[in-house]
Amino acid sequence: MEVALNRTADGLSGGYCYQPCRAETRRQLVLNGRMRGEGAVLTERDSGDGAAETGTWRIESFEKGITGTWTSPNGKRTLPLALSQIQDDLEVRFPYEIRLLADALPEEEGDGCHTPPLVSAIRLYKDGVLIQSLETESQGTCSIFKPYLIDANFDGWPDLSLAMFLPAGPNIPHQTWLYDVATGRFVDAPAGLQDISSAEFDPVHRIVYSYWRASCCEHGVSTYRWNGGDLEEVDTQSSYLLPLMDGTERRRCYIMPSYINGEIEFASRVEQVSDGSLKLRQIDPKSCDIDSGAHYERTYIDIWQPSQNGQKPTLCERKKLPGNK
């Protein structure tokens, strides 16, 4: 069994699955409840069955894990709870208790979407003693944003990041602090990282990357590397429209880039094979929009050389339509 719980004030929420857990079953069973003294009472529901109640968790202690009792909905069946705590490397190296300073407590779940609390500081405690206070200004939409651990600069030490607000688009701004080993304190991450919205981190290739949206009709990916204490951009690619013929119908396919194994690639593309002919890779013309004849920027045909011997595919030719940039 794999269980994940989050605490906000006295509220607890999370979910669990029976191993081996898969992406589609990881939150199959959902837990919600509140702290009760040193323990908690949680209602268990099946998210895949109309949120039907499947049991009650009565947790007696969180000391080095979870101990308590599970009870069936009719109260006729009980099972012991005895779960050990598993920490990843970053959690093991993070010795602090995190407390958030906010102007109000979060609303109870089920009370509707009210104005969420404004978080003005992250306070780090060790053995009950305040070690450091990180100033911020974070406000969610229907809930409160919580800080999370990352290794933003790939030095093996845990860094902290917190979402600031939820904009209309998908580019969520974050505030990040890096752990300074020399001083044992967290410092503001450089502007190069703070300015990247919804940054993601690839420790294998030591790449920071970001999926972004510039408008309703332009999506892209940017990659960055650390250099001299700050991030510098490595590559940026954006979406484009690929004109195709589907029988007698003209269509335009929306082609988006992806981050794959340290590189930005267009998985959907036109490839030139060894005999010089062209073939479509991961493109179904029938799924593309019918060409209305309207003028669109970034409309062109990219022709790629297929990947060989583990090398990334290379762009051979770009055919732009008249009047397009």
Q: Which domain holds residue 299?
A: 239-320
Instruction: Read off the tokens for 35.
Output: 């702290």
State whether 282 and 312 are in the same domain. Answer: yes
**CB within 8 A of 41, min separation 6: which ones?**
33, 34, 56, 57, 58, 59
The mean-pLDDT minimum among 16-30, 47-61, 73-87, 128-142 falls in: 16-30
Compute the distance between CA of residue 304 and CA of residue 270 in angstroms, rounded to an integer.
6
Half-sphere exposure of 255 (CA within 13 A, CB side): 28
The verdict on residue 161 lying in a domain is yes
The average confidence (pLDDT) of the chain is 88
Compute the distance between CA of residue 207 and CA of residue 224 in angstroms, rounded to an integer.
6
Q: What is the pLDDT of residues 254-296, one digit of tens each?
A: 999 999 999 999 999 999 988 889 999 999 999 999 998 888 8
Last-in-domain residue among 195, 217, 237: 237
- In the predicted model, is pLDDT for residue 24 greater than 50? no
State whether 70 and 119 are in the same domain. Answer: no
- In the predicted model, is pLDDT for residue 53 greater than 60? yes
How far is residue 285 from each of residues 94, 171, 240, measured CA to CA in Å?
Answer: 50, 30, 15
What phi and psi values does residue 142 have, to the nearest 5 degrees?
A: -105, -5
Instruction: Read off the tokens for 175.
Output: 């505030």
- In the predicted model, is pLDDT for residue 297 greater than 60? yes
- In the predicted model, is pLDDT for residue 240 greater than 80? yes
Which residue did the predictor score with more confidence, 140 or 290?
A: 290
Which residue did the predictor score with more confidence, 5 or 113?
A: 5
The verdict on residue 60 lying in a domain is yes
**CB within 8 A of 258, min separation 6: which ones?**
221, 264, 265, 266, 267
Question: Residue 303: its pLDDT value, please?
Answer: 94
The verdict on residue 258 lying in a domain is yes
The verdict on residue 14 lying in a domain is yes
Closest CA to 44 of 31, 35, 34, 27: 31
Q: Which amino acid is at 260?
A: I
The verdict on residue 325 lying in a domain is no
Compute the distance between CA of residue 223 and CA of residue 6 in angstroms, rounded to an integer.
31
State whether 230 and 288 are in the same domain. Answer: no
Question: Residue 312: its pLDDT value, please?
Answer: 82
Paired with 234 in beta bridges are none
Q: Are 142 and 113 in contact (CB under 8 A)?
A: yes
The verdict on residue 159 lying in a domain is yes
State whether 35 and 114 are in the same domain. Answer: no
State whether 282 and 313 are in the same domain. Answer: yes
- In the predicted model, is pLDDT for residue 181 greater than 80? yes
The verdict on residue 250 lying in a domain is yes
State whether 114 and 184 are in the same domain. Answer: yes
State whether 111 and 135 are in the same domain. Answer: yes
Pairing of strands 39-46, 289-290: unpaired
**CB within 8 A of 110, min separation 6: which ones?**
none
Number of domains in the chain: 3
The verdict on residue 310 lying in a domain is yes
State whether 224 and 255 are in the same domain. Answer: no
Q: What is the pLDDT of residues 184-201, one digit of tens each?
A: 999 999 999 999 988 999
Question: pLDDT over 70 for what percent of the chain?
Answer: 92
State whether 248 and 188 are in the same domain. Answer: no
Last-in-domain residue among 29, 60, 86: 86
Last-in-domain residue among 39, 66, 86: 86
Q: What is the pLDDT of residues 76-114, one digit of tens each?
A: 999 999 998 877 788 888 989 999 999 887 766 555 677
State whether 80 and 94 are in the same domain. Answer: no
Q: Are 165 and 139 in contact (CB under 8 A)?
A: yes
State whether 17 and 66 are in the same domain. Answer: yes
State whether 11 and 131 are in the same domain. Answer: no
